[in-house]
Amino acid sequence: MSLLDGRVVLVAGIGPGLGSALAERVVHHGGRVVVSARSGDRVGALAERLGDAAVGVVADVTERDQCASVVEAALDAFGRIDGLVYNAALIPPLTPVIESTPAQIRDAVAVGVEGALSLVQGCAPAMATAGGGSIVLVGSAVVRHPKPGFGAYNVGKHAALGLARSLALELGPDGIRVNTLVVGKIDGERLRSYLSEMADRQDRSLAEVEAEYVSRIALGRLPDPVEHADAAAFLLSPLSRSITGHMLDANGGEYFD
């Protein structure tokens, strides 16, 4: 039997890196997936690539009615919802929190917390009817060690962690588990862009900056999106059936907790 055999998982936030890998690994592990993002081209291309096991829905998670449409589409297509992976995020403004505007904080909370809550509120009744489910909120290493200059992003991710813990407590009696996947560095376009920017700021080569980052990771390499997506698949699967309210670190050994 496959890890997610027959399970229906909604994946919100399917960027070119981790988001797409999350959807692909759900299908790889035997599940069916509903993929959602604001980009119609990206949603359509991914759903087409995954075939009959996938349905794509274009939606903005900050709009509550659009979140409801994603849930409705999942139920129309597959008749049930067993899992939700919330991966929607904003590229953080590199601004200290003391210099952040109220709008920047609101935007971070709208995407990190309000969107997640809207989708959970939509999915939870269907999960409860099915006898339970698993919700994974994709977090960040900033909840372990906040980074200077990532003010609004730090606030949003810490708020999302509080949401996950509250939901785990409240939804547990319905058999619904809620966990946070705390991701570290993910090899890919976004990280390469960030490292390149750091190299320019420090007047160093990209290779030097990357080697410095890798030197802090116990495995001696940057984990790729598939490795993080498989950690999410574990949290969605029956193998983690007694785990809820937990933060699972996926970082290659960048830090230990």
Q: If you compute the radius of gyration of the chain from its CA atoms, what whole number of angstroms results? A: 18
pLDDT at 118 (0 to 100): 97
Instruction: Extract the tokens encoding 214.
Output: 């890798």
- Dist. CA 61–CA 94, nearest whole Å: 23
pLDDT of residue 70: 96
Strands of 30-149, DSSP E: 32-37, 54-58, 83-86, 133-140
What's the pLDDT tens digit per position in 183-206?
988 887 778 887 888 888 888 998
Write down the pLDDT at residue 56.
Answer: 96
CA–CA gap between residue 175 and residue 74 (Å, rounded): 20
Q: Which amino acid is at 183?
A: V
β-bridge mates for residue 56, sequence order: 35
What's the pLDDT score for residue 207? Answer: 87
Tokens of 171: 């939804």
**Annotation marks residue 153 as catalytic:** yes
Q: What is the pLDDT of residue 233?
A: 98
Domain segments of the chain as ranges: 8-185+225-249, 187-222
Q: What is the pLDDT of residue 189?
A: 79
Task: Please tell me the predicted confidence (pLDDT) of residue 121.
Answer: 98
- The answer as to CATH 3.30.70.240 being correct for domain 8-185+225-249 is no
The whole-number pLDDT of residue 117 equals: 97
Q: Among the options 153, 194, 213, 255, which is catalytic?
A: 153
DSSP state of 163: H
- pLDDT at residue 91 in the model: 75
Question: Strands, DSSP E only, in the chain?
Answer: 8-12, 32-37, 54-58, 83-86, 133-140, 176-183, 247-250
183: buried, middle or exposed (CB in 10 Å: 19+, 13-18, 0-12)?
A: buried
| Residue 188 bridge partners (DSSP) | none
Q: Where are the beta strands (DSSP E) in 122-228?
A: 133-140, 176-183
pLDDT > 80? residue 100: yes
pLDDT band at 103 (very low <50, low <70, confident <90, very high): very high
The helices-and-strands tally (H runs, E runs) of the chain is 9, 7
- Asked whether the beta carbons of 34 and 77 are under 8 A apart, the reply is yes
Return d(Cα 32, Cα 15) in angstroms, integer.
18
Give residue 113's pLDDT: 95
pLDDT reading at 150 higher than 90: no
> 44-65: per-residue pLDDT in tens?
999 999 999 999 999 999 999 9
pLDDT > 90: percent of the chain? 71
Query: Whole-angstrom Cα distance, residue 247 to residue 182?
Result: 6
Q: Mean per-residue pLDDT for 241-252?
A: 95
